Amino acid sequence: MTAIGRLHHVIYDTPDPMGLARFWSAVLGQPVTYASEDFVVVAPREDHSGMAFQLAPDHQVPVWGDPTRPQQIHHDVMVDNVPTAESQVEALGARRLGSPDGSVWADPSGHPFCLIPRPGWAPPVTEG
């Protein structure tokens, strides 16, 4: 199949682009590679696609499990140790969401994400 395009950035609306970029930068261990007043990118390097955060002063925070305020988007973040990762994301400003679906969290702008145990086929997330 011939591709029409290639994924560049996944873009999130947020009232605080730099604050949310710093959060995801710390969670993923990737740098902020571009920043303006209303648009910030986190990626492995400057010439790589990644996550982007754009200013949306009227952003409505999603509510987990509420169809009137749906999750809009979420990430599954694979981790080597879920309890350790939970402590780390909480220290960065994430808050746990009540869910029977495992380790579900909201980033500082309210976007939900899940911490999942690293599958056996994936190499370790951290070296050590």
**What are the structural domain ranges in the chain?**
8-58, 71-128
Who contacts 113 (Cβ-Cβ below 8 Å, separation ≥6)? 74, 75, 76, 77, 94, 104, 105, 106, 107
What pTM was estimated for this model as a whole? Answer: 0.77
Residues 103, 90: Cα–Cα separation, whole Å: 12
- Give the pLDDT confidence score for residue 70 in this predicted structure: 80
Fold of 8-58: 3.30.720
CATH class of 71-128: alpha beta
| pLDDT at residue number 76 | 82
Ranges of residues in the chain with a pLDDT under 70 are 2-4, 127-128
Confidence (pLDDT) at 119: 84
- pLDDT for 3 equals 61
